[in-house]
C-alpha cells in the first residue's frame, strides 16, 4: 500500500498534464484550467491548456480539484539527530508531503544542536537520500541554545542556513540579542524569535486567567509575548535588521507588530492553527495534548489572531510541528512536554478560515506558500512559468475526521484528535515528480 502512496524513486521523470482544475495564484483563482509539468518545471498553465497535442504528457483529469503551490512551512522540529524515537527526517518528510508541504524549515534544537555548518550539511544530505520533501535549516542564535555566546552565524549562512533562532527558547539577554541582530545585519540574515519574557513565564504551564485558576495550574501572563516583541523592536530600530516573531498568539502582539509595520520596520511574524482554531478551553480536564508553547489563549486573543491574518499583520501560517512520544505527554499536566504535531493537518485547518471567517482562498494559500517563501528567502511557493514544479492538488470540499493513528508522523500528539474538517491533499509534486498520490 505504501509504495502506491509514496514515490521514493528519485530517477522517476515524467511530464504531467493536470487538466480541468482550479489553479490558485496569489491574487486570483483560475477556474477550469490546466497545468503542464515538463522537465521538472511548470511549462504552462491557464484555461487554454487542454488535452489537445499532449502526446508526451501523462494526463491527469483533476475533475474540479484545486491546484496550488506546495506549502512552505517555516517551523518544524524534526528530532533527528538525537530523538529519533519521536521523529526522523524520513517520517517527517512523509508526513509533510501527505499534508501538502513541499518545503519545510527545521529548527536547530536537535542533539547535537545545529550551531555549526557540518550539521546543516548532514541534514541536507539525509533529506536528499529520502527524496521527498525539501528540507532547509535554521541555525541556532547562541551556542548550544544556552543564550550566552553567539554562534558562528555567517559560516552557517554560507552553508545554507536560512535564518537563526534558539527554537523553543527566547533569547532573554538583551545584549546578546542586540549582538545577534547586528551580526546578522552584516549579511542580511534573518533573526527569528520565540517571543516570551522568560522571567515572567518561568514555571507557568498555561495561559494565566480564570481557567488556570480553576484548574489549579500556574499561569503565564499573556503580555509576556508582547513584552519580548516590544523589547526586540527597540533593537530592530537601532540595528535596522530583519526580525521575525514566531507563532504569535495574543491580541497585544498583533497590535504591536501592526504598529511596527506601519513604522516601516523590517518585521514579519507567523502563527499556527491552534491559535486561530482553539482557545484555552481545550485544556479542560487537564488535556495534555493541548499543552502548547505559547499556551492556548482566551477567545479575544483567538479572534485577534484571525483579524491579524485578515488584514495582513500576520504574514504566514506554520505547522509548529512539535512531535512528542506518548511517554512525554501522558503525564500530569505540569510534567508533560509542550507541543503538537501539525504537518498533516496544516492545510485543512487553515482552509477552515475560508468558510468560517470569509478569508479569500487565494489569501489563505499565500499565507502558506509564497509569503513564507519570501520571508525565508526561498524561490518557491508560487505557480509561474519556468518555476520548479513544487505543487499540490487538493479537494477543498472533502470532509474527513482527524485521526492521529493514521498519521505518518511517528508521534501522534495533536489537540485536534476527532475534529471534523474539510479539505484534503491528494497529490504532491516536488520538482515535477509525483511523490504522494492518494487519488
- Is residue 269 a contact partner of residue 315, using CB atoms and an 8 Å limit? yes
Q: Is 320 a catalytic residue?
A: yes
The residues, ordered by sequence, that sit 6+ positions from 77 with a Cβ below 8 Å of its Cβ are: 87, 106, 107, 109, 167, 168, 321, 322, 323, 339
- Determine the angle formed by the axes of helices 361-368 and 346-357, rounding to 10 degrees: 150
> Rounded distance, CA 141 to CA 133, Å?
25
In 3D space, the residue among 337, 340, 355 whose CA is nearest the CA of residue 416 turns out to be 340
The H or E element spanning position 18 is: strand 16-24
The residues, ordered by sequence, that sit 6+ positions from 9 with a Cβ below 8 Å of its Cβ are: 131
> Rounded distance, CA 34 to CA 63, Å?
11
- Is residue 338 a contact partner of residue 120, using CB atoms and an 8 Å limit? no
> Rounded distance, CA 94 to CA 97, Å?
5
The full length of the chain comes to: 439
How do 420-430 and 391-401 pair as beta strands?
antiparallel
In 3D space, the residue among 8, 71, 5 whose CA is nearest the CA of residue 345 turns out to be 71
The residues, ordered by sequence, that sit 6+ positions from 210 with a Cβ below 8 Å of its Cβ are: none
Residue among 301, 315, 320, 395 flagged as catalytic: 320
- Is residue 191 a contact partner of residue 184, using CB atoms and an 8 Å limit? yes
Angle at the Cα of 396 (from 95 to 295), degrees rounded to 5? 55
> Rounded distance, CA 430 to CA 434, Å?
7
> Rounded distance, CA 28 to CA 179, Å?
42
Q: How many CB atoms lie within 10 A of CB 101?
A: 32
How do 58-61 and 71-76 pair as beta strands?
unpaired
CA distances (Å), origin 93, targets 5, 169, 275: 13, 25, 24
Give the residue numbers annotated as catalytic, written as ranges: 320
Amino acid at each position: 500500500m505504501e509504495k502506491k502512496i509514496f514515490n521514493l524513486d528519485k530517477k522517476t521523470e515524467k511530464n504531467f498534464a493536470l487538466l480541468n482544475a482550479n489553479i490558485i495564484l496569489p491574487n486570483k483563482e483560475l477556474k477550469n484550467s490546466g497545468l503542464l509539468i515538463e522537465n521538472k518545471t511548470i511549462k504552462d498553465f491557464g484555461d487554454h491548456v487542454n488535452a489537445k497535442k499532449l502526446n508526451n504528457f501523462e494526463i491527469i483529469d483533476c475533475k474540479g480539484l484545486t491546484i496550488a503551490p506546495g506549502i512552505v512551512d517555516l517551523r518544524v522540529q524534526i528530532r533527528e539527530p538525537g530523538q529519533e524515537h519521536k521523529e526522523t527526517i524520513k517520517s517527517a518528510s512523509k508526513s509533510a508531503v501527505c499534508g501538502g508541504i513541499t518545503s519545510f524549515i527545521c529548527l536547530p534544537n536537535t542533539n547535537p544542536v545545529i550551531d555549526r555548518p557540518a550539521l546543516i550539511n548532514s541534514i541536507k544530505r539525509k533529506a536528499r537520500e529520502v527524496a521527498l520533501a525539501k528540507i532547509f535549516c535554521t541555525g541556532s542564535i547562541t551556542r548550544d541554545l544556552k543564550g550566552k555566546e553567539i554562534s558562528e552565524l555567517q559560516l552557517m549562512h554560507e552553508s545554507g542556513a536560512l535564518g537563526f533562532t534558539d527554537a523553543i527558547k527566547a533569547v532573554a539577554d538583551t545584549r546578546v540579542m542586540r549582538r545577534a541582530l547586528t551580526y546578522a545585519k552584516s549579511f542580511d540574515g534573518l533573526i527569528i524569535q520565540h517571543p516570551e519574557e522568560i522571567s515572567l513565564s518561568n514555571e507557568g504551564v498555561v495561559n494565566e486567567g480564570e481557567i488556570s485558576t480553576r484548574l489549579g495550574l500556574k499561569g503565564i501572563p499573556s503580555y509576556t509575548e508582547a513584552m519580548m516583541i516590544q523589547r526586540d523592536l527597540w533593537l530592530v530600530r537601532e540595528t535596522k535588521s530583519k526580525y521575525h516573531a514566531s507563532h504569535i498568539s495574543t491580541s497585544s502582539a498583533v497590535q504591536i507588530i501592526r504598529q511596527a509595520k506601519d513604522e516601516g520596520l523590517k518585521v514579519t511574524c507567523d502563527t499556527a492553527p491552534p491559535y486561530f482554531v482553539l482557545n484555552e478551553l481545550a485544556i479542560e480536564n487537564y488535556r495534555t495534548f493541548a499543552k502548547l508553547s505559547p499556551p492556548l489563549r482566551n477567545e479575544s486573543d483567538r479572534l485577534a489572531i484571525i483579524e491579524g491574518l485578515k488584514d495582513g499583520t500576520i504574514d504566514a501560517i506554520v505547522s509548529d510541528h512539535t512531535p512528542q512520544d506518548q511517554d512525554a505527554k501522558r503525564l500530569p499536566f505540569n510534567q508533560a512536554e509542550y507541543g503538537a504535531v501539525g504537518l498533516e493537518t496544516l492545510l485543512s485547518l487553515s482552509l477552515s478560515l475560508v468558510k468560517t471567517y470569509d478569508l479569500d482562498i487565494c489569501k489563505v494559500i499565500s499565507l502558506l506558500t509564497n509569503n513564507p517563501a519570501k520571508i525565508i528567502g526561498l524561490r518557491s511557493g508560487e505557480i509561474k512559468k519556468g518555476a520548479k514544479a513544487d505543487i499540490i492538488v487538493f479537494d477543498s470540499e472533502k470532509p474527513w475526521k482527524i485521526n492521529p493513528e493514521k498519521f505518518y508522523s511517528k508521534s501522534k500528539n495533536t489537540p485536534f484528535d476527532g475534529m471534523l474538517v474539510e479539505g484534503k491533499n491528494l497529490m504532491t509534486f516536488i520538482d515535477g515528480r509525483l511523490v504522494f498520490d492518494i487519488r
